[in-house]
């Protein structure tokens, strides 16, 4: 049962166990999120879970019959033992929500229903997402059961804190379906980048003119965010240095938010210590106002020009700190893509450059896809046309992996 590389999770199987907690109402959205990744989902429900969400709903969204019974009766074409077949088929056993009761059963090794039998029989990684009343969660019995399961290598996604369905406040809320899906996704990937530390810069920078106005660019941070997520799910240790963006980064990365090109330079210089790979996906401002006005420039001032000065070039400044780290740059160009990129590759001492076309639909800033080419030397290593940024991120990481 090897892991997946690249972005392709098609053909991978998640056995999804739902137990009898109120948060089971989120389960259909978890299934939809997993299906959107191309994953085959086999749903198993405890008897208690069927009181909170119907098997019919889960069957419809998963596109498969839902398994609820350990003793499902005689079948004329039965040729396999269901709980063992499910256990063997799983690339991941996901249990969300996991009740206090079910975790207690797992900790004791009980096997008195279909899901507990699968949990005991599977050799696949198990990801448990507990959800319950805060006092049940903090009870020494529950804490002990979680500890025992963690010692056995079971993975946990901790519950969120806040107002709970039962009226109490505190830890016990099931994380939202996209967070559960992301965590499941991480467990489905082969960790081919484990042990590699990366600094990835993302987004634009903002250069302040006065307390109200600033100069920025159209970078959304999407390409950077795709790289961050892809690197994290493949096991890299990722530090993000990001300009102001609305985009969210993968929850496993350490994120340092900055504003200006100067602040980004400081954060990159600091982050570079002990880093194996630097990916400069940020669109750093080339110019910044020559001076900052600490009070708002008024309309009646009739401002006609803002004097600019060049920002420090981050790659050129940090070049002496490179050691044997692998440096990847990005170039956003409207024309002469390969010539401009080649020039930048050489002048900035980069090991690889990704040049993408901007100024056309479906490529560059804020788009979900990108077109352009990848250079590692004088020759073009690869070209890509309207490729999803997630797929491009994995492609770039594949090329980096071959070289570090
Ligand atoms: C309305 C209601 C809500 C419940 N919510 C939870 C819950 O969120 N978490 C939990 O651990 N148990 C919850 N329970 C208790 C479980 O349903 C009970 O322990 C059950 O035996 C769990 O069975 P299972 O672990 O086989 O699914 C709830 C019970 C009721 C009646």
pLDDT tens per residue, range 388-399: 888 999 999 999
Taking the C-alpha atoms of residue 93 and residue 125, their distance in angstroms, rounded to an integer, is 6
Specify the residue with its C-alpha closest to ligand 1, atom 4. 21
Domain assignment of residue 3, yes or no = no
In this structure, the answer to whether residues 251 and 290 fall within a common structural domain is: yes
Instruction: Report whether pLDDT(401) > 80.
Output: yes
How many angstroms does the Cα of residue 23 sit away from the middle of ligand 1?
Answer: 10
Q: Max Cα separation, the chain? A: 88
Closest ligand 1 atom to residue 102 Cα is 25
Within 6 Å (CB) of ligand 1, which residues are found? 19-23, 46, 48-49, 99-102, 131-132, 136
CA of 51 to the centre of ligand 1 (A): 10
Euclidean distance between the first and final Cα of the chain, in Å?
26
- By annotation, the residues acting in catalysis are 166
Query: What value does the mean pLDDT take over residues 382-387?
Result: 89
How far does residue 140's CA lie from ligand 1's centre (Å)?
A: 18
Q: What is the mean pLDDT of the chain?
A: 91
Q: Does 1 map to a domain?
A: no
Please tell me whether residue 330 adopts helix, strand or coil conformation. strand
Query: Percent helix, strand, coil in the chain (nearest 5)?
Result: 35, 25, 40
CA distance 181 to 342: 39
Decide which of 139, 157, 188 is a domain's last residue.
188
Structure-token match 């194996």, residue found: 276
Ligand 1 nearest atom to the CA of residue 98, by list position = 11
Q: Which two tokens stand for residue 12?
A: 């991978």
The answer to whether residues 210 and 239 belong to one domain is: yes
Q: Evaluate if residue 3 carries a pLDDT over 80.
A: no
- Give the strand pairing for 277-280 and 197-202: parallel
Q: Cα–Cα distances in Å, from 229 out to 79, 199, 252, 278, 397?
A: 41, 13, 8, 15, 11
Q: Would you say residue 6 lies in a domain?
A: no
Q: What are phi and psi of 75, to 5 degrees?
A: -130, 135
Is residue 135 domain-shared with residue 207, that is, in the same domain?
no
Best of 99, 132, 135, 141 to mutate for ligand 1, by most ligand atoms within 8 A of CB?
99
Assign residue 180 a region: left if phi > 0, alpha if psi is -120 to 50, beta otherwise?
alpha
How many Å apart are CA 281 and CA 226, to the nearest integer?
10
**Mean of pLDDT values over 59-68:** 94
- 180-190 in b/e burial notation, b at 16+ Cβ within 10 A? bbbbbbbbbbe
Domain containing residue 342: 197-401
Q: Report whether pLDDT(188) > 90.
A: yes
CA–CA separation, 353 and 263 (whole Å): 23
pLDDT at residue 5, rounded to an integer = 41
Provide the 3-class DSSP secondary structure of residue 129. strand
Which residue has the least CA distance to atom 11 on ligand 1?
A: 99
Encoding tokens for residue 46? Answer: 């405890």
Q: Within this chain, do residues 175 and 151 fall inside the same structural domain, yes or no? A: yes
| pLDDT given at position 42 | 97
**Does a cis peptide bond (omega within 30 degrees of 0) precede residue 97?**
yes
Residues 236 and 339 in one domain: yes
Nearest CA to ligand 1 atom 3: 22
Q: How confident is the model at residue 2 (pLDDT cuts 50, 70, 90)?
A: very low
Are 301 and 364 in a shared domain? yes
Mutate-to-test residue for ligand 1 from 20, 95, 135, highest number of ligand atoms within 8 A of CB: 20
Among 96, 101, 142, which residue has the most ligand 1 atoms within 8 Å of its CB, making it the best to mutate?
Answer: 101
Residue 184 or residue 75, greater confidence: 184
CA of 25 relative to ligand 1 center, distance in Å: 13
Q: Which of 127, 162, 188 is the last residue of a domain?
A: 188
Q: CB-hemisphere CA count at 13 Å for 180? A: 35
Task: Tell which atom from ligand 1 comes closest to the C-alpha of 100.
Answer: 11
How far, in Å, is the centroid of ligand 1 from the Cα of 150? Answer: 22
- Using alpha carbons, select from 284, 357, 276, 293 the residue that is nearest to residue 316: 284
Domain count, the chain: 2
Residues 167 and 287 placed together within one structural domain of the fold: no
Of 58, 133, 50, 128, the closest CA to residue 94 belongs to 128
Per-residue pLDDT tens digits for 107-163:
999 999 999 999 999 999 999 999 999 999 999 999 999 999 999 999 999 999 988
pLDDT digits (tens, 9 = 90+) for 228-254: 999 999 999 999 999 999 989 999 999
Classify residue 260: in a domain, yes or no. yes
CATH at residue 89: 3.40.50.1950
What local confidence, expressed as pLDDT, does residue 16 receive? 98
The reply to whether 2 falls in a domain is no
φ, ψ of residue 100 to 5 degrees: the values are: -60, -40
> Which atom of ligand 1 is the closest one to the Cα of 115?
26
- Residue 243 and residue 124 share a domain: no
Residue 189 pLDDT exceeds 60: yes
Do residues 178 and 30 share a domain?
yes
Q: Which residues pair with 204 in a beta bridge?
A: 283
Q: How far is the CA of 43 from the centre of ligand 1 (A)?
A: 18
Instruction: Determine, yes or no, domain membership for 7.
Output: no
Please state, in angstroms and rounded to a whole number, the distance separating the CA atoms of residues 92 and 16: 8
Show the CA angle centred on residue 278, arms to residues 274 and 279, nearest 5°: 160
298 and 219 housed in the same domain: yes
Please tell me whether residues 363 and 255 are part of one structural domain: yes
| Residue 4 belongs to some domain of the structure | no
Closest CA to 341 of 331, 350, 349: 331
- Nearest Cα residue to atom 16 of ligand 1: 20
161 shares a domain with 258: no
User: Which of the listed residues 160, 188, 216 is the one where a domain comes to its end?
Assistant: 188
**Number of helices and strands (H, E) in the chain?**
13, 19
Query: Between 55-62 and 27-36, two packed helices, what is the crossing angle to 10 degrees?
Result: 10
pLDDT score at 377: 78
Give the domain CATH number at 232: 3.40.50.10300
Q: Answer yes or no: is pLDDT of 73 > 80.
A: no
**Residue 242, domain member (yes or no):** yes
Crossing angle of the two packed helices 177-188 and 222-233, in degrees rounded to 10 = 50
């Amino acid at each position: 049962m090897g892991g997946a590389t690249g972005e392709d999770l098609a053909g991978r199987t998640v056995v999804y166990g739902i137990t009898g907690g109120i948060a089971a109402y989120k389960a259909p959205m978890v299934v939809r999120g997993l299906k959107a990744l191309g994953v085959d989902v086999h749903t198993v429900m405890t008897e208690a879970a069927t009181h909170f969400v119907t098997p019919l709903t889960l069957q419809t969204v998963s596109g498969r019959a839902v398994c609820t019974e350990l003793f499902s009766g005689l079948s004329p074409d039965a040729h396999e033992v269901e709980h063992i077949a499910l256990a063997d088929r799983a690339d991941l056993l996901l249990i969300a929500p996991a009740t206090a009761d079910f975790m207690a059963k797992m900790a004791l090794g009980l096997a008195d229903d279909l899901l507990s039998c699968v949990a005991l029989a599977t050799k696949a990684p198990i990801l448990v997402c507990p959800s319950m009343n805060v006092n049940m969660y903090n009870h020494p019995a529950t804490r002990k059961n979680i500890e025992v399961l963690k010692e056995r290598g079971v993975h946990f996604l901790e519950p969120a804190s806040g107002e709970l369905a039962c009226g109490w406040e505190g830890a016990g809320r099931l994380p939202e379906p996209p967070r559960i899906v992301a965590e499941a996704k991480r467990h489905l990937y082969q960790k081919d980048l484990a042990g590699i530390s990366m600094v990835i810069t993302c987004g634009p920078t903002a250069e302040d003119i006065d307390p109200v106005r600033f100069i920025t660019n159209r970078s959304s941070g999407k390409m950077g965010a795709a790289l961050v997520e892809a690197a994290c799910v493949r096991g890299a240790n990722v530090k993000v240095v990001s300009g102001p963006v609305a985009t969210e980064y993968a929850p496993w990365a350490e994120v340092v938010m900055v504003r200006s090109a100067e602040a980004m330079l400081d954060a990159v210089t600091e982050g570079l210590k002990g880093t194996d790979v630097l990916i400069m996906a940020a669109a750093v401002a080339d110019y910044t106002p020559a001076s900052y006005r600490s009070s708002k420039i008024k309309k009646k001032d009739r401002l006609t020009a803002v004097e600019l000065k060049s920002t420090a070039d981050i790659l050129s400044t940090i070049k002496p700190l490179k050691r044997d780290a692998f440096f990847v740059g990005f170039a956003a160009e409207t024309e002469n893509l390969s010539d401009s990129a080649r020039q930048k590759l050489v002048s900035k001492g980069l090991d690889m450059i990704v040049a993408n076309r901007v100024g056309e639909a479906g490529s560059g800033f804020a788009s979900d896809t990108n077109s352009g080419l990848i250079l590692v030397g004088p020759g073009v290593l690869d070209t890509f046309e309207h490729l999803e940024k997630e797929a491009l991120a994995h492609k770039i990481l594949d090329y980096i992996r071959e070289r570090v």
